[in-house]
A and B are shown apart, each in its own frame.
Chain A
């Protein structure tokens, strides 16, 4: 697979402090990639650079063979705080996005498409409510519907479920897993939640602690699809995969030093591991 998006040597510096630099990775068409790391390593900045909302201090983002210069309708963002406009209804928020994508569509056509998009996330009954009248989970659903309604080539999600309670978060994770699988959506997501990454991602990028953060490892998720939260932890290899990521977050993320990297590591080709494959098969219960 050739990379649809290629992040080439991007860096973010504040004065003398380098948050991260020499970050290289690619995302193939139809692939879903999660970035996992501790606070302060610059995850959100990487997503903003990918979205075109921020310019990197070094390096470039290549999409479809061209360096990006700013935000684009092809890369839709689901923001951490839902970022809905409180003066528009749920349908109004989605219709606004659609009217930006399809400048020539009538108001009625945009509204109809917005309601269709809300239906896909199970919110057709709340289309005419303002965000203030929606629960946190419903708001984020609207945010996801808004992003998907413009049929982006790529979906960027910045810890979209971190503000939600555990039950709501679980339901939404399953829903996003389903939506992404249905439309073979190319996606990039930042998360703190290891299970969320295993559920959604084809590859999981592990980032070392900032400052001077790098992508330290790439974990390939070989668990079969479709994955749901109900069947995920019964899959052979799940525990090995999870333990590997947790071990990284607890110990290796801190120990990683870019000037004295582990053997075989280079910024341009970060080693890929598949912990789920090397695990011994689960004992039959």
Chain B
């Protein structure tokens, strides 16, 4: 273990690294010469964008330009002006809704099923081959099948989240339940606690930290997958928004989207972290 570091020193260093990075970025994307180039028909330039009209590529925006754009987006994050023009907050909300639905559905199925698998060595051995084969499949591989059988792109997105978040929860729940300390089960048996009471009062709390760890892994994967899934199905969501901004060549918006996806992912992980702390026990 490394010695603990004071918060001020680590935060100071973090800020320094950030400042150096942003500074270097800003300098790197500064216009090379004092501008110039051939004079342009202003209407042509407005149509194509300044850079394209000059025959150059879209310049990479600097942190200051991105910051300005970020303030612009955050000033009105929840506007809806037609299906292709909605605020970034609305897009994130759509993504969160899909992740919530898929993840919640997976939890409802995976945790009870994992419980049963963990309690029954027979079922564990019987279902293990299926789980082992299905688990490494990229969730996006399910997308065509989902689109074909469900025939609804929005629900297909939820299904893909469901299928990718079910495995860690299923396996962790089964493992947590199967490895509950023998002596606690013996206590329950000598108290004639019965199946149900043993499951709720002994096995569930004993396995809860492992189960929540599985949920934490699942939500992380779900948040990774939602971006790719929304790029595929389109319509709404932060993944679709990223792809849309790519089509618009709005590099600043893409950078902002990356930042937002990271922050929301962090928030989701922290939320489950709070849950983990609530069910943690130590001996």
Contacts and interface: CB of A to CB of B under 8 A. Distances in A.
A85 B202 contact: yes
Contact of B190 (A51, A85, A86, A96): A51
A52 B192 CA distance: 11
B183 A53 contact: no
Interface in A49-73: 51-53, 70-73
B282 interface: yes
A83 B191 CA distance: 13
Interface string B180-209: 000110110111110001000110011010
Contacts of B282: 86, 132
B190 A77 contact: yes
B8 interface: no
B206 A100 contact: no
Nearest to A132: B282
Interface string A148-189: 001000000000000000000000000000000000000000
A265 interface: no
A87 B206 contact: yes
B191 A75 contact: no
Nearest to A82: B183
A75 B192 CA distance: 10
Contacts of B202: 85
Nearest to B280: A87
A187 B283 CA distance: 29
B192 A71 contact: yes
Contacts of A131: 283
B205 A79 contact: no
Contact of A73 (B192, B206, B208): B192
A73 B281 contact: no
A97 interface: yes
B205 A77 contact: no
Contacts of B279: 87
A77 B188 CA distance: 11
A51 B188 CA distance: 12
Contacts of A83: 183-184, 186-187
> What secondary structure prevails in chain A residues at the interface with B?
loop
Interface residues of B, number: 19
A151 to B, nearest CB: 13
B206 A53 contact: no
B187 A79 contact: yes
Most chain B CB within 10 A, of A53, A71, A79, A81, is at A71
A188 B222 CA distance: 55
A77 B190 CA distance: 7
A271 B175 CA distance: 50
A71 B183 CA distance: 13
A219 B197 CA distance: 42
B183 A100 contact: no
Interface in B192-250: 192-193, 197, 201-202, 205-206, 208
Contacts of A150: 191
Contacts of A97: 191
Contact of A81 (B183, B191, B192, B208): B183
A172 B265 CA distance: 53
Contacts of B201: 96
A69 to B, nearest CB: 12
Nearest to B202: A85
B189 A85 contact: no
A73 to B, nearest CB: 5
B189 A70 contact: yes
Interface in B51-86: none
Interface of A: 51-53, 70-73, 75-77, 79, 81, 83, 85-88, 96-97, 100-101, 130-132, 150
17 contacts: A51-B190, A52-B190, A71-B191, A71-B192, A75-B190, A76-B190, A77-B187, A79-B183, A79-B186, A79-B187, A81-B183, A83-B183, A83-B184, A85-B202, A85-B206, A100-B192, A130-B281
Which 6 pairs, one residue from A and one from B, show the smallest C-beta to C-beta distance? A87-B281, A100-B191, A83-B183, A86-B281, A71-B190, A71-B189
Given A72-B192, A79-B183, A87-B206, 6 more contacts: A53-B186, A71-B189, A73-B190, A75-B190, A86-B281, A132-B282
